[in-house]
């Protein structure tokens, strides 16, 4: 995958690997979303943070990155880092300490997590790439963003497959959410149409591979505001 | 003891209408007068409902003084709200004609909130309601006073309310009523069942329930269509018999045409109209049609304007339509009890026989219809194995009791055990369910501060926040609908609803049959499927997903016996007999207590076909497990298909260790390994999580609250399976899947039965018996493991394009 001329490798886990800079990028971990929902009466299994961090741990072991960038909404809400279990906090702190760690701040976590180290910022520029949480209104070459949790669906031999997706038009990229409880928004949602005015490719995550599919081949799915796929072809 | 005599007023009323009370009605009154609980087993049309209400009417008529504050005397519970409403209407006549001072009301989801509130403070004498409303009533703080003077509970169609989560919840509700009012009488009304004693225990297992049998009525006259056309090898369309079905409709006053699935109903309806040259008024009725449209059909039926209705199980139960004199069952009946229920929908008069015509859609179904008919002749009916109550339904009940806030946790355990499905419930399991309701019940005890329910100092269960009560009320019930999508004409009206997964199969431009029309799918817009009418062209009908109901064990056994016994094949149509004869010559007819396995090469592949006759679900599970084992044995399996009668697996290398392949040990490691990577359990988990109250139901309007990121139960399942696979909800999920989706019990019983009794025929080509299942190849969806391969296929095709753009 090329974004603004930079070669990037989308991983089936939902993370992005930038080999040249030895940089691992993650979007929307939404740690402690489970306990946030529990507080409102939905007692979902409290293992979401543990599961997300375990997956992250494995990725770091595999790629040995020099840099890690979390694209915001790493924590589900402002006091989520306080609710994170002791073991999970220690594991995360260890990961942060081991590499150059950047926290991009998101709408769910507008302040950097206290006591974990790492470098907070709103926007981070590294060479040809710009990292931010929410895609900017104006098209910006090399922008890598999260926030929207894209998922995409495609039909193959009559069967519909859906998966988390990296959306890119070669200029900018919207990454899928990495968090265990972070659901998805259909790639054909109008929210993406305003970002990619001339179509895009969805790199859909399978079990072991990530596969590119043109936006004109995608299908709408799920609830929310899915739109006609033919609308996308219209100027 | 002198025979029971009706009070004068009632006697005169019967006489005035030219009726005499029937013996079972009197027997029921007598038992009730003695304070005993009763199960009345009778076919439809025997005055069963009136019998149920008579004791209450008599008691209420003899009640002194009417000025005193009234309290609820009798509660009637029906599986259908339409039935409750209809029964109320029918009861008003005798009450008025006898001049009884009795107030009777219905309470359903449609009852206005103000009236529901009033029903609690100033209850009627008789309240007619549904299991879900009963759950809501007992989950109220004032339930003890509301039910404190209750005399009787009548449960209608009791047979239809057992063996499901809905039945589990009802049995827990009845247990609660018995605890509130120990002297309560129970009256169960049921169609014919194989084991009335067991059904009676669902009413009350704490004391003996008298069983009263109604008169049998005239035996039904049922025949199988002996089609002059060629009966197809496979498929469920019954297209070959349409002319003959129309001819039967023409000769009847009004016919109900039952089919097993909605898509089949649409298809048959469409085809019937295509050849309906006399323009006979034929209507369509199934669960996906808009409620208004269904009501219209029902009203036209009541007015006697229709000659036939094509319908699904939506009309299995329901109000009486006097005019129906013929039932046509298209496709195999799958079970005797269901067949009897449907046949009983014709002719509700006792003295005249019901008439029914069975129309098998393929050759195996001919065998199944014949076996069902023989069983009817012998007055046999299947005895469904009892099942343990579902833990998610129990969780819902426990929360309801905490909302009521009047029950101690120890007393609740004792009470729950008086409900038949939970008689064997262990305290440890009960405690885990209670813990789940309170805090989620996770080993990582991190939600103490968010608990929804606590045990008070006096031992009672209470909720911690009024919000919990609201959540409970919005989510009550065990019927989990598939997510539905409204079907709407572009710039027009809503035609009805279909399952979301069906719409997911469609691409814009595809055509499908719905509400009796060919529609073109335009796209999804705000959770509505936009469609336009179209004329001409074959509609793209979804692949028939098999009967909704699996072939009953009882009927399967009879089909096996018929195949093994030449004498039993005499009643079969000639073309079916010829087919069987050819099978006998080429291979072998499956012997009764053995499992026939055939192997043969075809187009450079090797096929293995087994004929267990255990239903599609068990066969699918068997197919999955067989392919795993064949992989391990080095046969390189490529795929499998299953139908109600057989399973076929194909591979690159010929399988030769047949007995080993079919060993019972496949239910150990192979099953576990498969479950670990299959997404099948996710569907069960979603149901369980909804019923148990882990996630909330989507309510109309909620979807529209702006752009929302959907939260899927699949994500929760993945996390829970990985981090706490022994959680009580995982246990409930496994139980539901084993019983429902996988039919493991049946598969296990079959494997045990055929151990050392496998007959293997090595053939040089396909056998006649294998043709139907081989025709299913290509209709089955691809299984989960092939996901990446399919994605790659898409990738190959699209890679060039991708390279150009990026």
**Tens of pLDDT, residues B781-806:** 333 334 445 555 554 443 433 334 33
Q: In whole numbers, what is the pLDDT of chain A averaged over residues?
A: 88
**What tens-digit pLDDT sequence spans chain A (235 residues)?**
999 999 999 999 999 999 999 999 999 999 999 999 888 888 999 999 999 999 999 999 999 999 999 999 999 998 898 899 999 999 999 999 999 999 999 988 888 888 889 999 999 999 999 999 999 988 889 999 999 999 998 877 656 678 899 999 999 999 999 998 887 888 988 889 889 988 999 999 987 889 999 998 888 776 433 222 222 222 2
Higher pLDDT: B513 or B286? It is: B286
Mutate to test the interface with A, among B711, B792, B793, B797 (most CBs of A within 10 A): B711
Q: For B531, which residue in chain A has the nearest alpha carbon?
A: A228
pLDDT at B67 over 60: no
Instruction: List pLDDT tens digits, range B642-679.
Output: 888 999 998 889 999 999 999 999 888 888 877 766 66
Higher pLDDT: B482 or B321? It is: B321
pLDDT at B540 over 70: no
Residue B705: its pLDDT value, please?
36
Asked if A217 and B790 come within 8 Å (Cβ–Cβ), the reply is: no
Asked if B703 and A189 come within 8 Å (Cβ–Cβ), the reply is: no
pLDDT at B546 over 50: no
Residues 420-439 (B) with a CB less than 8 A from some CB of A: 439
Indicate the residue of B471, B719, B801 with minimum beta-carbon distance to A41. Answer: B471
Residue B670: its pLDDT value, please?
83
Instruction: Report the 10 Å Cβ neighbour count for B761.
Output: 14
φ/ψ region of B157 (left if φ > 0, alpha if ψ in -120 to 50, else beta) reads: left
Residue B463: its pLDDT value, please?
95
The DSSP code sequence of B235-246 is -S--GGGHHHHH
Higher pLDDT: B349 or B398? It is: B398
Instruction: Report the 10 Å Cβ neighbour count for B752.
Output: 10
How big is the CA angle at A101 (ends A95 and A103), to the nearest 5 degrees?
115
Q: For A83, which residue in chain B has the nearest alpha carbon?
A: B446
Instruction: List pLDDT tens digits, range B694-717.
Output: 988 765 544 433 333 345 787 888
CATH 3.40.50.300 fits B8-213, yes or no: yes
Nearest-CA neighbor of B732 among B168, B131, B202?
B168
> What proportion of chain B, given as a percentage, has pLDDT over 90?
43
Q: Answer for the pair B499, B488: CB distance below 8 angstroms, yes or no.
A: no
pLDDT at B174 over 90: yes
Asked if B442 and A46 come within 8 Å (Cβ–Cβ), the reply is: yes
Residue B802: its pLDDT value, please?
30
Q: What are the backbone dihedrals phi and psi of residue B757, each rounded to the nearest 5 degrees, phi first?
A: -130, 40
pTM over 0.80: yes
Indicate the residue of A85, A211, A228 with minimum beta-carbon distance to B508. Answer: A228
Checking A12-16 for CB contacts under 8 A at 24+ apart, the result is: A12/A205, A12/A206, A12/A207, A12/A208, A12/A209, A12/A210, A13/A55, A13/A59, A13/A178, A13/A205, A14/A164, A14/A175, A14/A176, A14/A177, A14/A178, A14/A205, A15/A56, A15/A59, A15/A178, A16/A144, A16/A166, A16/A173, A16/A175
> What proportion of chain B, given as a percentage, has pLDDT over 70?
87
Instruction: List pLDDT tens digits, range B5-43.
Output: 889 999 999 999 888 888 999 999 999 999 999 999 987
Chain B: give the shortest CA distance to residue A98, in Å: 26
ipTM of the complex: 0.82
Chain B: give the shortest CA distance to residue A221, in Å: 7
Residue A138: its pLDDT value, please?
85
Q: Answer for the pair B568, B561: CB distance below 8 angstroms, yes or no.
A: yes
CB contacts, 8 Å: B793 with chain A: 156-157
Which residue ranges make up each domain of chain A?
2-233
Which residue ranges make up each domain of chain B?
8-213, 221-377, 484-533, 586-788
Question: CA-CA distances (angstroms) from residue B348 to B45, B54, B158, B256, B324?
Answer: 4, 20, 19, 13, 8
pLDDT band at residue B432 under the 50/70/90 scheme: very high
B221-377: CATH superfamily:
P-loop containing nucleotide triphosphate hydrolases (3.40.50.300)
Instruction: List pLDDT tens digits, range B350-376.
Output: 567 888 999 998 888 999 999 999 998
Residue B180: its pLDDT value, please?
96
Residue A227: its pLDDT value, please?
27
pLDDT at B141 over 50: yes
pLDDT at B557 over 80: yes
- Kindly give, in sequence order, each residue whose CB lies less than 8 Å from that of residue B666, ignoring residues fewer than 6 positions away: B625, B626, B628, B629, B751
Residue B778: its pLDDT value, please?
52
Q: For B525, which residue in chain A has the nearest alpha carbon?
A: A227
Mutate to test the interface with B, among A3, A12, A34, A45 (most CBs of B within 10 A): A45
pLDDT band at residue B424 under the 50/70/90 scheme: very high
Chain A: give the shortest CA distance to residue B691, in Å: 13
Residue A66: its pLDDT value, please?
97
CB contacts, 8 Å: A30 with chain B: none
Nearest-CA neighbor of B623 among B777, B457, B755?
B777
Instruction: List pLDDT tens digits, range B717-727.
Output: 888 988 999 99
pLDDT at B431 over 90: yes
pLDDT band at residue B593 under the 50/70/90 scheme: confident
pLDDT band at residue B192 under the 50/70/90 scheme: confident
Instruction: List pLDDT tens digits, range B605-618.
Output: 899 999 999 988 88
Chain B: give the shortest CA distance to residue A97, in Å: 26
Q: Show the beta-strand stretches assigned E in B552-636.
A: 595-602, 605-610
Higher pLDDT: B628 or B237? It is: B628
Two structure tokens written together for A193:
């149409």
Distance CA B731, CA B442 (A): 13
Residue B506: its pLDDT value, please?
65
Instruction: Report the 10 Å Cβ neighbour count for B466.
Output: 9
Secondary structure (3-state) at B368: helix
- CATH no. for A2-233: 3.60.21
Question: CA-CA distances (angstroms) from residue B288 to B164, B291, B328, B517?
Answer: 22, 8, 21, 14
Indicate the residue of A157, A185, A228 with minimum beta-carbon distance to B525. Answer: A228
Residue A115: its pLDDT value, please?
85
Q: In whole numbers, what is the pLDDT of chain B averaged over residues?
A: 85
Asked if B525 and A226 come within 8 Å (Cβ–Cβ), the reply is: yes
């Amino acid at each position: 995958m090329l974004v603004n001329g930079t070669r990037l490798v989308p991983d089936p886990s939902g993370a992005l690997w930038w080999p040249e800079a030895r940089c691992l990028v993650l979007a929307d971990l939404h740690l402690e979303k489970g306990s946030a929902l529990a507080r409102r009466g939905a007692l979902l299994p409290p293992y979401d943070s543990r599961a997300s961090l375990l997956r992250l741990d494995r990725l770091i072991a595999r790629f040995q990155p020099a840099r890690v960038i979390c694209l915001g909404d790493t924590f589900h809400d402002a006091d989520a880092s306080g609710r994170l279990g002791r073991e999970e906090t220690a594991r995360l702190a260890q990961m942060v300490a081991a590499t150059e760690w950047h926290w991009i701040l998101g709408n769910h976590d507008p302040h950097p997590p206290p006591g974990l180290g790492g470098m907070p910022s709103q926007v981070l520029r590294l060479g040809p790439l710009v990292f931010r949480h929410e895609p900017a209104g104006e098209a910006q070459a090399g922008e890598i963003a999260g926030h929207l949790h894209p998922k995409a669906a495609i039909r193959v031999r009559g069967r519909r497959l859906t998966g988390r997706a990296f959306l890119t038009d070669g200029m900018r990229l919207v990454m899928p959410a990495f968090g265990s409880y972070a659901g998805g928004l259909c790639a054909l949602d109008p929210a993406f149409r305003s970002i990619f005015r001339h179509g895009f490719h969805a790199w859909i995550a399978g079990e072991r591979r990530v596969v590119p599919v043109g936006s004109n081949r995608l299908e709408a799915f799920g609830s929310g505001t899915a739109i006609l796929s033919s609308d996308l072809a219209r100027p | 003891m002198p025979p029971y005599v009706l009070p004068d007023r009632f006697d005169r009323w019967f006489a005035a209408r030219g009726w005499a009370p029937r013996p079972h009605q009197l027997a029921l009154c007598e038992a009730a007068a003695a304070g005993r609980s009763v199960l009345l087993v009778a076919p439809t049309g025997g005055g069963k409902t009136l019998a149920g209400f008579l004791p209450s009417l008599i008691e209420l008529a003899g009640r002194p003084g009417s000025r005193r504050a009234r309290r609820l005397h009798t509660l009637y519970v029906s599986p259908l709200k339409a039935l409750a409403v209809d029964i109320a209407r029918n009861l008003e006549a005798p009450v008025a004609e006898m001049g009884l001072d009795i107030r009777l009301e219905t309470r359903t989801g449609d009852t206005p909130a103000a009236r529901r509130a009033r029903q609690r403070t100033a209850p009627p004498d008789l309240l007619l309601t549904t299991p879900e409303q009963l759950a809501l009533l007992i989950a109220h703080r004032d339930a003890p006073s509301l039910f404190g003077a209750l005399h009787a509970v009548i449960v209608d169609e009791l047979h239809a309310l057992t063996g499901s989560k809905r039945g589990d919840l009802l049995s827990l509700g009845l247990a609660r009523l018995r605890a509130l009012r120990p002297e309560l009488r129970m009256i169960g009304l049921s169609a014919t069942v194989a084991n009335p004693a067991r059904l009676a225990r669902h009413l009350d297992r704490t004391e003996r329930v008298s069983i009263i049998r109604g008169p049998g009525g005239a035996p039904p006259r049922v025949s199988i269509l002996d089609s002059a056309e060629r009966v197809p090898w496979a498929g469920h369309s019954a297209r070959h018999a349409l002319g003959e079905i129309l001819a039967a409709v023409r000769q009847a006053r009004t016919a109900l045409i039952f089919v097993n699935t909605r898509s089949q109903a649409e298809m048959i309806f469409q085809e019937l109209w295509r050849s309906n040259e006399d323009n006979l008024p034929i209507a369509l009725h199934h669960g996906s049609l808009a409620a208004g449209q269904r009501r219209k059909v029902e009203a036209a039926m009541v007015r006697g304007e229709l000659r036939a209705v094509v319908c699904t199980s939506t009309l299995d139960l329901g109000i009486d339509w006097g005019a129906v004199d013929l039932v046509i069952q298209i496709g195999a009946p799958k079970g005797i009890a269901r067949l009897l229920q449907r046949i009983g929908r014709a002719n509700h008069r006792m003295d005249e026989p019901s008439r029914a015509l069975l129309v098998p859609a393929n050759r195996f179904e001919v065998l199944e219809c014949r076996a069902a008919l023989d069983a009817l002749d012998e007055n046999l009916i299947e005895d469904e194995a009892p099942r343990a109550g579902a833990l998610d339904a129990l969780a819902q009940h426990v929360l309801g009791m905490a909302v009521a806030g009047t029950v101690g946790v120890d007393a609740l355990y004792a009470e729950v055990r008086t409900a038949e499905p939970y008689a064997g419930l262990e305290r440890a399991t009960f405690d885990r369910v209670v813990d789940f309701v309170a805090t989620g019940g996770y080993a990582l005890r991190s939600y103490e501060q968010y608990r929804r329910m606590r045990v008070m100092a006096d031992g009672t269960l209470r909720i911690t926040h009024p919000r919990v009560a609201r959540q409970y009320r919005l989510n009550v019930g065990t019927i989990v609908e598939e997510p539905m999508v409204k079907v709407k004409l572009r710039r027009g009206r809503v035609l009805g609803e279909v399952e979301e997964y069906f719409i997911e199969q469609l691409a814009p431009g595809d055509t499908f049959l719905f509400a009796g029309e060919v529609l073109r799918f335009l796209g999804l817009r705000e959770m509505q499927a936009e469609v336009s009418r179209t004329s001409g062209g074959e509609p793209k009908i979804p692949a028939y997903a098999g009967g909704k109901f699996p072939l009953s064990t009882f009927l399967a056994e009879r089909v096996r016996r018929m195949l093994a016994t030449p004498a039993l094949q005499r009643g079969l149509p000639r073309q079916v007999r010829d087919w069987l004869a050819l099978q006998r010559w080429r291979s072998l007819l499956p012997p009764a207590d053995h499992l026939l396995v055939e192997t043969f090469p075809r187009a450079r592949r090797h096929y293995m076909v087994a004929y267990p006759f255990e239903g599609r679900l068990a066969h699918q599970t068997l197919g999955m497990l067989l392919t795993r084992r064949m992989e391990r044995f080095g046969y390189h399996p490529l795929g499998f298909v299953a139908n109600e009668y057989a399973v076929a697996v194909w591979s690159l290398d010929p399988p030769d260790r047949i007995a080993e392949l079919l060993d019972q040990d496949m239910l150990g490691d192979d099953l576990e390994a498969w479950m670990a990577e299959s997404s099948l359990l996710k569907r069960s988990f979603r149901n369980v999580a909804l019923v148990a109250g882990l996630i909330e139901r989507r309510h109309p309007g909620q979807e529209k609250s702006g752009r929302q990121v959907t939260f899927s139960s699949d994500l929760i399942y993945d996390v829970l399976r990985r981090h706490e696979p022994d959680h009580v909800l995982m246990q409930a999920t496994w139980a539901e899947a084993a019983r429902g989706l996988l039919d493991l019990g049946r598969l296990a019983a079959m494997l045990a039965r055929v151990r050392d009794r496998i007959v293997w025929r090595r053939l040089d080509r396909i056998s006649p018996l294998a043709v139907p299942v081989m025709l299913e190849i290509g209709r089955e969806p691809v299984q989960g493991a092939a996901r990446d391969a399919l994605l790659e296929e898409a990738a190959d095709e699209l890679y060039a394009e991708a390279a150009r753009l990026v």
